C-alpha cells in the first residue's frame, strides 16, 4: 500500500517507507494506568507522499533517519487534524 492511499480509520495496513525525519523522544503519562511511556514522532515517505509515524518505547531506538521501515497490520488515525500511521499492539515494524 502507498502512503497516498492511506485514510483516517483504515486498519490492517502494510506500508514500506523511508524515515526522513525523527523527532526527540518525550514522556507521556497513561490515561488509564499509573505508567509513563516514551513517544517519538517520525516522518516517513515513499514515492507518493509523507506521513507521521508514531513510535513507542523500544521502537524509537530501532529507527534512524534513512532507514527503510516496513509496517504490517498498522492502522491510521487523525490527531489534531493530521493523519498518522501507527504500529499498534497488533502490528509489527521491521527495519530493513
d(CA 3, CA 14): 10
Render the burial of 54-87: b for 16+ CB within 10 Å, e for the rest: bbbeebbeebeeeeebebeebbbeeeeeebbbbb
pLDDT band of residue 30 (cuts 50, 70, 90) is confident
Contacts (Cβ under 8 Å, ≥6 apart) of 7: 76, 83
Q: Is the pLDDT reported for residue 17 higher than 90?
A: yes
Cell of 4: 497516498
**What's residue 31's pLDDT?**
84
Kindly report whether the global pTM for this prediction surpasses the value 0.75.
Answer: yes
Q: Residue 21, Cβ neighbours under 10 Å: how many?
A: 13
CATH of domain 3-95: 2.40.50.140
d(CA 7, CA 12): 12
The mean per-residue pLDDT over the stretch 15-30 comes to: 96
Amino acid at each position: 500500500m502507498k502512503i497516498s492511499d492511506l485514510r483516517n480509520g483504515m486498519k490492517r495496513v502494510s506500508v514500506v517507507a523511508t524515515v526522513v525525519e525523527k523527532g526527540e523522544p518525550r514522556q507521556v503519562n497513561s490515561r488509564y494506568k499509573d505508567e509513563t511511556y516514551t513517544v517519538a514522532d517520525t516522518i516517513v515517505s515513499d514515492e507518493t507522499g509523507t506521513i507521521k509515524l508514531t513510535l513507542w518505547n523500544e521502537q524509537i531506538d530501532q529507527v534512524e533517519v534513512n532507514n527503510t521501515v516496513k509496517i504490517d497490520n498498522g492502522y491510521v488515525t487523525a490527531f489534531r487534524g493530521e493523519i498518522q500511521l501507527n504500529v499498534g499492539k497488533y502490528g509489527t515494524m521491521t527495519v530493513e
